[in-house]
Amino acid sequence: MDDIVQRFLKEEEAVIKINENEINIEYLDNNIPIGVRIILVGKDRKRLIDLGILSFIYKYCEKGKEFAKDYINLSISLEDIYFKYRVYTELEFLSLCESKEKNNLHKDLLYTLNKLKSYLISKNKR
């Protein structure tokens, strides 16, 4: 995973493209800064992913390993992700995560996560 983070920093782009065979679920066990965004490219679909957020989910959230594994599996559609987890993105999943480690995240991100969580809860009640 270090090579992907290094590539992200070297290219100085907001998002870099990564082929699906370049990423492995165990890479998410590394400390990846939030904001390392990739477009994961497969045969039939692409998915925008913040690897730092997905890494946090993988390490600290209940069912995080399962979600991360499904999320980087491009054979699983976002509709299938939603059906299984009731979220479409890693940011939505993180907003619903009840980990105490979330308190260590940047205050602006925490504010956004709390607003998103309120929205998701009210949307799911409807």
- Given a contact cutoff of 8 angstroms between Cβ atoms, the answer to whether 77 and 91 are in contact is no
Q: Model confidence over 49-90: pLDDT tens digits? A: 999 999 999 999 999 999 999 999 999 999 999 999 999 999
Q: Across the chain, what does the average pLDDT equal? A: 90
**Quick one: pLDDT at residue 126?**
64
Closest CA to 18 of 2, 29, 7: 7
- pLDDT score, position 80: 97
How far is 122 from 87, CA to CA, in rounded Å? 13
Q: Measure the CA–CA gap between 107 and 26, rounded to whole angstroms.
A: 28
Place of tokens 């998915």: 47
Domain regions of the chain by residue span: 2-125
- What pLDDT, on a 0 to 100 scale, did the predictor assign at position 89? 96
Q: How much of the chain, in percent, has pLDDT values that exceed 90? A: 67
